[in-house]
Structure 1
Amino acid sequence: MKKVLIFLVILFVIYLIGINTVPSYVESSRNPVKIESPYEVSPEAQELYNRLDFISDLHCDALLWGRDLTKRGDRGHVDFPRMREAHVSLEMFTIVSKSPAGQNMQENSEDTFDNITPLTIMKGESPMNWFSLINRTLSQAQALEGFVTKEDGKAILVKSKADLENLLEKRKSDPAVIGAMLGIEGAHALEGNLENLKAVYEAGIRMIGPTHFFDNELGGSAHGESGDGLSEFGKQVVKRMNELGIFIDLAHASPAIVEDVLELSTKPVIVSHTGVRAILDSQRNLSDEQIQKIAENGGIIGIAFFDMAVGTPELPNIIASIKHVRDLVGIEYVALGSDYDGSVAVPFDITGLPLIVEGLMKEGFTEAEIRAVMGENVKNFFLKNLN
């Protein structure tokens, strides 16, 4: 018995050490920044950036890593202090509940070992989250709500048009007030239960991607094995999302799901973080035909910042991707969708957003167009479509 107790104590000590070291090590290795801050741009670009009164990003996975987002981090890409430093008004924080080991852009099996399970355990989360995707999802949503509450009025969880209008009004007198929204990467988080859609809605989630890196009960992923469109369950989920007022995110959907959603949905869609095939011919990127159909739907397209979406060097390709969407369908359909903290290497963290403005200026974008890309399009989209 004494040996058993000693063994259990040793295991517990190892676990405590792991909680304090493993998540930060994993995050640091999975979310590098290629160029460290501070970032410098021309005086003209900085002046224009400083004039922007609404800056927004459609995709960030910072909730996954267990950092306190109210504190400025020394790793990763986004937290509340860095949002304020970058004058960012609104960030979409997306929840990752499952990710296949060895994930790649080409093909992943639904049954591959899940990377998020050991991370969940080593973060010291409740055992209730260890093997439950819906519990992991709701826990991350609660974490963001806790961070917002901790800010004592300096942050707003945007769940409705009224919340967004409140954010806009408060920022007129206090630009330090920031907004946060919640999304989900992959509806496998629903565990095949339509009732869970109401649960995540009540937790504040307002955007869900049908699939992430693998096929699930709703249908095929752009990186899955089947290439399927929406299943019958998937169609039920899309209809219910429309009823509740949850936006459909097509960022990782198979081409067949993109077609099915655009045909079935009565509401505009979001592509929260993507590239375009005209710049980088990848199966996770949008074709010109898809871009045109999304624009016809009244949707919005967030351009990602990492090499597997835009190619290298990233910054000029980000600008080229934005320009391509503008030239194809109009400036009002394109936005920023960084994929910050999403297990990707990025050229700069959120405080480097002035580099985007400088790049757009060099390509001849007008101030009105730059304002649109940097956040006005997102603001207008949500003002028009949030319940």
Structure 2
Amino acid sequence: MLRLVLYAISGFLVLAVVGYFTIAAPIADARFNKKPDAPSAPVSDRAQAVHDTTMVADLHNDLLLWPRDPLTRYDRGHTDVPRLRDGNVGLQVFAAVTQVPQGRSYAGTDASSLDQIPFLAAAQRWPPRTWTSRLDRALYQARKLHRALERDEQLTLIRTQADLNQTLDRRSETPEVLGTLLAVEGLHALEGDATNVDTLVEAGYCMMSLTHLFDNALGGSSTGLKTGGLTDFGEDVLGRLKNQNVILDLAHASEALIDDVLVRTEEPVVVSHTGVRGTCDSPRNLSDRHIKAIAKQGGLIGIGIWERAVCGDSPAATARAMRHVADLVGVEHVALGTDFDGTVSVPFDAAGLPYLTEALLDAGFSPNEIQKIMSGNVVRVLRETLPSEQ
């Protein structure tokens, strides 16, 4: 009898393990990146016509973290390459997420809280070294994109100005061409070693934010506990980033950290995905003072589409935030940073981007201004900040 009980228990454990490694990650993906319902009304003919002639550049997307082949169309989550193409996306920044503490909150996130990424990595059967190394998690996500590039000749990786120009030239002839850029969301991925900036650049990363959801060794996060400025280590890393022509991303940075970085830089910086306090008062969002300071250096404010960033669950809420930035500092400093697949609530998936174009028209933006917001401003800043050659 005991032997039968042990067999039963072992069989249950085997089934539990098999189940964890086959369905846990897709279940988490579907739960945290819920695909929104299709809008009830179609896009107007005018908006669709404007959108069809407007390439989209999105400054932030977390697809690489999740159990989806980028090249396959899915009925869960917010993006995949087929849906990006449906939405007329021509430039997509894919960000590597390497640590997410349990209980994260805009009111303050403790970096020492249980990290959820090792469980997601294990459930997807990532290499065991990624279960303990944040650097290896970033490198693995880069390899995931590189494998997709090898299987789709219309997918390109942009690391230099020449790569950007070649991608845009190809896309003018072949609309299916989609340029991708790699970004790191928070340089806790360096694991305390500034020379790992070089390792990340070698892997293809060309945009990096200093912090993510919590304060780290470089400085304070907008949703950290201390929200301080740049540390000595952060200053060392900042110098290495500048030497490597890495684009600086101030998304998730504390107010003090933004101030410290701007006083030490002259080149344009980006805030890849954010809201603005002028339309949605939140510690996660940018103040008018910082919008003006970033614009003064020629930088970009990537406005998100998720509910907590824009205080609304419609494209009109994003358009309202974009209008605030445009009225404050000029349309030349407005960009799009969706935060697709970032465990956020969004009003449409990548195929639904024409709805944002319609909201921008309704907000009084001209087709020429929409072209700047959707991609023209991003192309300009990339041409100013990417290295001329690798």
Structure 1: runs of 5 or more not aligned? none
Q: Within 2, Cα distance between the matches of 1:378 and 1:2?
A: 65
Distance in 2, Cα, partners of 1:283 & 1:314? 21
Q: Distance in 2 between matches of 1:91 and 1:14?
A: 37
Counterpart amino acid of residue 128 in structure 2: P
Change (3 A) 1:177 1:234: same
1:329-377: per-residue Cα shift (whole Å, max 9, x none)? 0111011100000010111001111111111111221111011111111
Does 1:288 find its partner at 2:288? yes
The one-letter code matched in structure 2 to 1:23 is: A
Quickly say closer, same or farther: Cα 1:77–1:37, change in 2 above 3 A: farther
1-structure distance, mates of 2:77, 2:168: 27
Could you tell me which amino acid in structure 2 is paired with residue 144 of structure 1?
L
Q: Give the Cα–Cα distance (whole angstroms) in 2 for the partners of residues 161 and 133 of structure 1.
A: 29
1:300 aligns with 300
Count residues with an aligned counterpart. Answer: 385
Q: 1:90/1:325 Cα in 2 relative to 1: closer, same or farther (>3 Å)?
A: same
1:150–1:2: structure 2 CA closer, same or farther, 3 Å change rule?
A: farther
CA shift digits 1:54-113 (9 cap, x unpaired): 211000001001210011111111111111111110110001000011111110111000
2:275 corresponds in structure 1 to: 275
3-state SS in 1 of match to 2:162: helix
Distance 2:100 2:30 in 1: 17
Matched, 1:75 2:76: yes
Structure-to-structure mapping, 1:347-366, within 5 angstroms: 347-366=347-366
Distance 1:187-1:6 versus aligned 2 partners, 3 A rule: farther
Show the counterpart of 1:117.
118
Give the drift of 1:4: 9.2
Deviation (angstroms), 1:267: 2.3
Instruction: Give the drift of 1:12.
Output: 4.9
Amino acid at match of 2:354: P
Shift of 1:36: 2.8
- CA drift at 1:15: 2.6
Q: Which residue of 2 aligns with 1:44?
A: 46
TM-aligned CA deviation for residue 175 of structure 1: 0.8
Confirm or deny: 8 A CA contact 2:29 2:67 kept in the other structure. no
Secondary structure of 1:358's partner? helix
Residue 14 and residue 275 in structure 1: after superposition, are their counterparts in 2 closer, same or farther (change >3 A)?
same
- 1:343/1:39 CA distance change after superposition, 3 Å: farther
Query: Residue 26 of structure 2: SS of its match in structure 1?
Result: helix
Q: Is the 8 A contact 1:39 1:352 kept in 2?
A: no
Give the partner amino acid of 2:160.
Answer: S
Alpha-carbon deviation of 1:37? 6.6
Q: CA shift at 1:16, angstroms?
A: 2.7
Equivalent in the alignment of 1:96: 97
Secondary structure in structure 2 of the residue aligned to 1:145: helix
Corresponding residue number in structure 1 for 2:224: 224
- Deviation of residue 34 (structure 1)? 3.3
C-alpha distance in 1 between matches for 2:282 and 2:29: 26
Report the TM-score when normalising by structure 2: 0.95
- 2:59 counterpart SS class: strand
Cα–Cα, structure 1 residues 2 and 177, in superposed 2: closer, same or farther, change >3 Å? farther
Q: For 2:186 and 2:175, locate their aligned partners in 1 and report how far apart those are by CA, in whole Å.
A: 33
Answer whether contact 1:242 1:267 (CA < 8 A) is retained: no
Q: Which runs of 5+ in 2 are unaligned?
A: none
Q: 1: CA distance between counterparts of 2:52 and 2:304?
A: 22
Does structure 2 retain, via aligned residues, the 8 Å contact 1:239–1:265? no
The correspondence of residues 126-145 of structure 1 with structure 2, limited to 5 A, is 126-145=127-146
CA distance in 2, matches of 1:132, 1:78: 26
State yes or no: 1:264 paired with 2:264: yes
Question: Can you list the C-alpha shifts for 1:2-46, whole angstroms capped at 9, x where unaligned?
Answer: 999997776454333212211111011101133337972111111
Q: What is the letter of the counterpart of residue 99 of structure 1?
A: V
CA distance in 1, matches of 2:174, 2:202: 29
- Amino acid of the structure 1 residue aligned with 2:282: S
**CA offset at residue 257 of structure 1?**
0.3
Question: In structure 1, how many angstroms separate the alpha carbons of the residues matched to 2:225 and 2:261?
Answer: 19
CA distance in 1: counterparts of 2:192 and 2:7, whole angstroms: 41
Q: Secondary structure at the match of 2:285?
A: coil
Aligned pairs (5 A) from 1:1-387: 11-36=13-38, 40-52=42-54, 54-151=55-152, 153-387=153-387
For 1:239 and 1:264, locate their aligned partners in 2 and report how far apart those are by CA, in whole Å: 9
- Residue 271 of structure 1 aligns to a residue whose secondary structure is strand
How far apart, CA to CA, are the structure 2 residues paired with 1:10 and 1:150?
39
| Percent sequence identity over aligned pairs | 38
> Residue 335 of structure 1 aligns to a residue in which SS?
strand
TM-score norm. by structure 1 comes to 0.96
